[in-house]
Amino acid sequence: MQAHITININGKDVQTESGISVAAALARSGLNTTRISVTGEQRAPVCGMGICQECRVTINGQAHKLACQTLCIDGMKIETLQSSAQLSSQQQKQKESPL
């Protein structure tokens, strides 16, 4: 039997197995998008070995960490860039709309 740990994904505590990658934990929690590209498209892990860098997330305040190459640790805080991109999109719409 594998031990369970608690990680925090985008502000929500999630129970997961110890020893799995952050990318696997994100997928198991139902979150398949790790970031939003500069053109606004959803991105997700592709290669699983750190080459494509599509799995970049912020871990414990450090940006651009590779989720597929990082193992989960109890208490880890993970932020995907999806929420940041949505905020940026809203801010851009506010700039474009007349007062």
The radius of gyration of the chain from alpha carbons, rounded to an integer in Å, stands at 15
Long-range (24+ apart) CB contacts under 8 A made by 42-49 are 42/82, 48/23
Q: What is the pLDDT along the chain (99 residues), one digit of tens a residue?
A: 568 999 999 999 999 999 999 999 999 999 989 988 889 899 999 998 999 999 999 999 999 999 999 999 999 999 997 655 454 554 455 445 554
